A and B are shown apart, each in its own frame.
Chain A
């Protein structure tokens, strides 16, 4: 182009990478320079085409699942990479002993923490499994009656099935899954592009207030009411999950 400015200045301006002062200078220049005007229009059109063509490649659910499993099974590399000396080995044995003693002394604490971690892992795993092609529903219906009738023949406990389409959470259907060795019912809702699983199973525990957690970018809220435990999981924002939680039965 015949304009004496560097070609990349238009790009920097277009990408909002110029300082405030230089941007103001360039804006002034742009008003009078047909070359830069033309270039700026070409950049806008290119960006528009790239956006319109939807070139962004998102990771498949199967890959997420694989990575999650990897992370669970991997023992992180220790920070010392030197060969283990006898001294280090002795220290390691010492640490093991201390850990073992603590393990025996405070089993209650360990168990609760373990349970929480294991629960979160399994529930997110079940959610991810459901996202694999063809896995999401056994009964595919937006009619609560149909879904309720199907569950009646599948599980030995009864729970309310409702559609919240008017509140933005459309019932998609349900399926039966296994979480921590238990048979659980799973209701599936959709809000915009996001899938929400609501896992429900019978519990002997007393009613409890909700507690929430995050694992690998997935959120869950878990609560107990009327001898049933509910856990809803999604990749959606915590506020969306909270909205669904409030629609579901929380009082006995």
Chain B
């Protein structure tokens, strides 16, 4: 049974990774609203399962729960589509400040779109590596895949993202003409 001490440990070890949990959920679910619901559920779950956490990397442990919960949610709520139409309107109500949107607005939109066009299994390794700064070992633990698969997924994901960005730049050029 979790006692007050466990609760304090949970607050100290797991709760600081709330942003990491939310960020991963937004990028898997392509919607901030859905990510809020799922993250709330994830935190409750994590708290209930906390006895099963025997030290180590709390962030990787939490993100594994986030990923599993998100995939279950997707299966239940939507037909699992690898290239989902991005819920841009909801997504753009992001936590970024108006200044940062003004500065990086176009880039934000362009990269968001590009990232959304690549398959989910590639998108998540990009998010974990580039946004969350996870090591290969952590990504392997979170996504439950071998280290070799992390390497190959990541290089393929980057290649796909690169060509998606090249395509969007081309599109922009054509548009201007």
Give the contacts of A47-82 with B (CB-CB under 8 A). 47, 49-60, 63-64, 66-67, 70-71, 74, 76-79
Task: List, in ascending order, chain A residues with CB within 8 A of B21's CB.
Answer: 59
The contact sample of 11 A-B pairs, CB cut-off 8 A, is A8-B155, A10-B155, A56-B131, A57-B27, A58-B22, A59-B22, A64-B18, A67-B40, A67-B43, A76-B2, A216-B11
Give the B-binding residues of A (Cβ under 8 A): 7-8, 10-12, 15, 17, 42-43, 46-47, 49-60, 63-64, 66-67, 70-71, 74, 76-79, 117, 214-217
Q: What CA separation (Å) do A52 and B104 show in the bound complex?
A: 7
- Please state if A60 and B23 are interface contacts (CB–CB under 8 Å): no
Given A8-B154, A54-B100, A63-B40, 10 more pairs with CB closer than 8 A: A11-B158, A12-B136, A15-B135, A42-B162, A46-B162, A47-B130, A54-B104, A71-B43, A77-B48, A78-B1
Which residues in B have their C-beta under 8 angstroms from that of A217? Answer: 11-12, 15-16, 18
| Residues A60 and B36 in contact, CB atoms below 8 Å apart | yes
Q: Restricting to B87-104, which residues have a CB under 8 Å from any CB of A?
A: 94-96, 100, 104
Which residues of B lie under 8 Å from residue A53 when comparing CB positions?
A: 104, 107-108, 110-112
Chain A residues lying within 8 Å of B6, measured Cβ to Cβ, are 76
Contact A55 B39 (CB under 8 A): no
With A and B bound together, what is the CA distance between A59 and B130 in angstroms?
A: 18
Whether A70 pairs with B151 at a CB distance below 8 angstroms is no
**In the complex the two chains form, is B47's CB within 8 Å of A76's CB?**
yes
Bound-complex Cα distance A70 to B95 (A)? 23
Query: Complex Cα distance A3/B11, Å?
Result: 49
Question: What chain A residues lie within 8 Å of B58 (beta carbons)?
Answer: none
A70 cross-chain contacts in B, Cβ below 8 A: 40, 43-44
Q: Which of B10, B11, B23 has the most CB of A within 10 A?
A: B11
Q: Indicate if the CB atoms of A54 and B96 lie closer than 8 Å.
A: yes
Decide: A56 near B23, CB < 8 A? Known: A11-B155, A74-B47: yes
Residues of B within 8 A of A58 (CB): 19, 22-23, 95
Q: How far is the CA of A233 from the CA of B111 in the complex (A)?
A: 36
**Most chain B CB inside 10 Å of its own CB: which residue of A42, A57, A214:** A57
Query: Which residues of the partner chain A approach B141 to less than 8 Å between Cβ atoms?
Result: none
Least CB distance, A22 to chain B, in whole angstroms? 13
Q: How far is the CA of A8 from the CA of B154 in the complex (A)?
A: 8
Inter-subunit contact A79/B1 (CB<8 Å): yes
Contact of B7 among A15, A49, A60, A71 (CB under 8 A): A71
Chain A residues with Cβ below 8 Å from B126 are 50
B residues in contact with A64, CB < 8 Å: 18
Q: How far is the CB of A116 from chain B (nearest CB, A)?
A: 11
B25-63 near A? 1/0 per residue, CB < 8 Å: 011000010011001100110011011000000000000
The complex places the Cα of A74 from the Cα of B152 at a distance, in Å, of 42
B13 to chain A, nearest CB (A): 10
Please indicate the chain A residues that have their CB under 8 angstroms from the CB of B96 in the complex.
54
* Given A58-B19, A60-B95, also A11-B108 (CB < 8 A): no
> Nearest residue in B to A193 (C-beta to C-beta)?
B97
A8 touches B151 (CB 8 A): yes
A214: which B residues are within 8 A, CB to CB? 11-12
Set of chain B residues within 8 Å of A7, measured between Cβ atoms: 155
Whole-angstrom CA separation of A118 from B149 in the bound complex:
48
* B91 and chain A: residue at smallest CB distance: A57
- Shortest CB distance A128–B (Å): 12
